[in-house]
Structure 1
Amino acid sequence: MTRKYALKPYSYSEFLKKIKLSVKRVMGEGYTVEINHILKNNSIELDCLIIRKDRDKVSPNIYLNTYYEIYMEGQSLDDIVDEIIQVYEDTKGEGEGEALALRYNLEEMKPYIIYRLVNYKKNKKLLEGVPYISFLDLAITFHCLVKNTEEGIGTIRVTNEHLNEWGIDIEELKEYAVLNTPKLFPPMIKTMQDIMEDMFQQESHMNEMERPINDLEQDNTAQEHLEDLCIDETMYVISNAKSINGASCLIYPNVIKNLSELLDTDLYILPSSIHEIIALKADNRASKEYLLSMVADVNGSQVPEEDILSYNIYFYSKKRAALTVL
């Protein structure tokens, strides 16, 4: 429901306070309601509402910036509060959530320390407060996995304060992450053809029950069209089993090396997003300029700002077993 303002609308800071108080009032006893200012990947700053019940360690992030835009367009505060609470109820057990600021000791966290890849230049502010390792034009950051279910994961970012509290250095932190990350998030490699076929089959299955029987005859035609698409069979999509921060597979021990040896070729690596990378046989005739334009186009039109990994492309030399920025 929309409305016209009888009075001057709330400022953004006033809006945040009103939302917090209203949600707390509706949720009642047994719930803690907080608003945190979060610095996310690629220096995106957002205000996040956290609703925590009793001893919950992980809660879905409910970002308020967009809700303020809706409010300024005329939606009532009460309607927004109702929507926020519904989002919480619908997502509290799903997706990727941020772990709450609880204390964890090193022994408890050792088996769950993992790493991720982010863009170095886009995260300079974030990197000031966390241990990281430079890698090409990227940075390796470290996180603790505190929730890992079929519905989703929850993590906390390891900070310099954690390292001081734990009494370890970044090399020890890296040892845990190198051991844990491939185990907790096993790599997966699929051809682009496989992915397109999976997408087609899923869409066909979802639509099957909604269409008249006569329309199902169109499946054969659609399948033939799929086979006619110019899909490069030399392209391989690399991610992890969760498809979350799967670009980290780039630094898994031997993943790129083994693929290069299996295909008996050098590889171009395209940074599709922080969630996946694409390996392309280097004997492909595509030029460097074409590949760079492809990455730029995908980043600009299909990848959310916070999921962009890089605008560069990488080259893996089978002979030297080395990865470089092309």
Structure 2
Amino acid sequence: MKLGYLEFVEVLRKQLLNALHLQEQQIFFKKKAIDNKDRLFVDAFENLSGKQLCGIDVKDLYERYMEGSSMESISYSVQDEIEKLKTVGMLEGEMTPDSYQKIRKYLFVKPLNKKAHSLELEDAVHKDVGDIACVVYMMLSNTNAYFCVKIKNQHLKQWKMTKEAVMEEALKNTCQMAPPLICTNDENKWGGSFMENGAFCLSKSDKVMGVRLSTNTKEYGAISVFYPGVLQRLAQLMGSDLYILFTSGNESTIYSANESNLEDIKTELNEMVIEYRNAMVFKCRNGMVFEEKLLSEELYYYSRIEDKISVYMEKVKVNFTTVNLKEVH
């Protein structure tokens, strides 16, 4: 007989406690802990940065169990991932340019809200665009995005690499791991190889109402805006500069600057921010854990001529008044 979900979680917890020789308090379960997902947290080890927690997506493991995987194989795979995580210690020691060559293929980028994550960004390698920080991480697991560690500025010095070069490498990797996808109004479904110079085209409705941009994994899909060539290609398809609205950390909406209604877009942004803040206040007042979902409170603009994305700035109108100097004096 198959175990129920909570029974499965407890059995897995006990097996990990025994296998990893940990104390009861070092493995604990939290429902909807990160991105609205259930996590089994493992206090795996401690290094110079402090205690390192591994967050395990137990619902994903339970699905594997229900599909036929044994408890033993699942427990072993989790143990293996935790052992991989311990390699984070290599980032605490002295590194060389050769070290970078060994780990470069594991680098990837996640978008974070700068204000919400200001403390953890202090020593992290990241590039700021408005109120968004594109942060470089090293992937320690091919199956779980939470088995990762931030790359720090000290690593750049040891590798003798520039932030720009490492960021470029990490973005290319991320694009390969999670290719960009769009959802158009006509098809109303995700898909389409829009990056290729083929017959792909957008309708008038797509340009006015916008298309949703994400990745094939959806999680942290808003990073696709910063992939090499993505905005250039969308601007080509739109036939204009672009307005960009980050509706969450998982996706954005791209509008034609020529065809869409700017006031409607700004209204949508304002309503989205208000709804987000009200939800945050309600949950905090009621003792609930608030799950951050809003990536940005800004409207962004992409210029084809400059090939640059920036926070949209209203054009300032200057009124001139002619003054007769003789009358003044």
- 1:278, 1:195 → 2: CA distance? 14
Residue number in structure 1 paired with 2:173: 180
Amino acid at match of 2:236: E
Q: How does 1:151-230 map to 2 (within 5 A)?
A: 154-163=147-156, 166-192=159-185, 194-195=187-188
Counterpart pick for 1:246 among 221, 233, 238: 221
Kindly indicate whether the alpha-carbon contact (under 8 Å) linking 1:296 and 1:311 is maintained by their aligned counterparts in 2.
Answer: yes
- Local SS of the residue matching 2:168: helix
5+ residue gaps in structure 1?
Answer: 1-21, 53-57, 64-85, 199-229
Q: Does 1:112 align with 2:118?
A: no
Alpha carbons 2:127, 2:135 under 8 Å: kept: yes
Question: 1:212 is matched with which residue?
Answer: none
- Given that 2:41 and 2:54 are in contact with CA atoms closer than 8 Å, whether structure 1 keeps it comes out as no
* Distance of aligned partners of 1:307 and 1:31 in 2 relative to their CA distance in 1, 3 Å threshold: same
- Cα distance in structure 1, aligned partners of 2:83 and 2:310: 33
Matched, 1:292 2:277: no
1:313 maps to what in 2? 299
Residue 130 (structure 2) aligns with: 136
Contact residue 317 and residue 323 of structure 1 kept, 8 A: yes
Map of 2:68 onto structure 1: none
Contact residue 316 and residue 323 of structure 1 kept, 8 A:
yes
CA distance in structure 2 between the partners assigned to 1:126 and 1:168 by the alignment = 21
TM-fit CA distance, 1:23: 9.1
Q: Counting helix residues as a fraction of each chain, which structure ranks higher?
A: 1
1:123: which partner in 2? 117
What SS does the corresponding residue of 1:118 show, helix, strand or coil? strand
- Residue 50 (str. 1) matches residue 26 (str. 2): no
Q: Deviations over 1:68-112 (max 9, x none)?
A: xxxxxxxxxxxxxxxxxx9xx79x77xxx9973423543331112
Aligned residue for 1:100, secondary structure, equals helix
Most deviating of 128-137 and 297-306: 297-306
**Aligned residues of 1:192 and 1:232 also touching (Cα < 8 A):** no
> Partners of 1:117 and 1:164 in 2: how far apart?
23
Residue 18 of structure 2: which of 20, 29, 32 is its match? 29
Query: Relative to 1, partners in 2 of residues 1:295 and 1:100: Cα closer, same or farther, differing over 3 Å?
Result: same
Q: What's the offset of the Cα at 1:259?
A: 0.8
- Partner amino acid, structure 2, of 1:31: L
Give the structure-1-normalised TM-score. 0.58
2:65 corresponds in structure 1 to: none
Deviation at 1:312, TM superposition (A): 0.8
Counterpart mapping for 1:260-275 below 5 A: 260-275=235-250
Contact 2:85–2:147 (8 Å) recurs in 1? no
SS of the counterpart of 2:171? helix
Is the 8 Å Cα contact of residues 273 and 307 (structure 1) preserved in structure 2?
yes
Is the alpha carbon distance of 1:168 and 1:186 closer, same or farther for their aligned partners in structure 2, counting shifts above 3 Å?
same
Gaps of 5+ in 2: 1-10, 45-52, 59-70, 91-98, 192-204, 281-289, 313-329
**Conserved 8 A contact 2:184-2:206:** no
Asked whether 1:100 is paired with 2:100, we answer no
Deviation at 1:325, TM superposition (A): 1.1
Supply the RMSD in Å over aligned alpha carbons. Answer: 4.4
Q: Give the counterpart letter for 1:174 in structure 2.
A: M
CA contact (8 A) 1:190 1:238 kept: yes
Length, aligned pairs only: 237
Query: Partner amino acid for 1:273?
Result: S
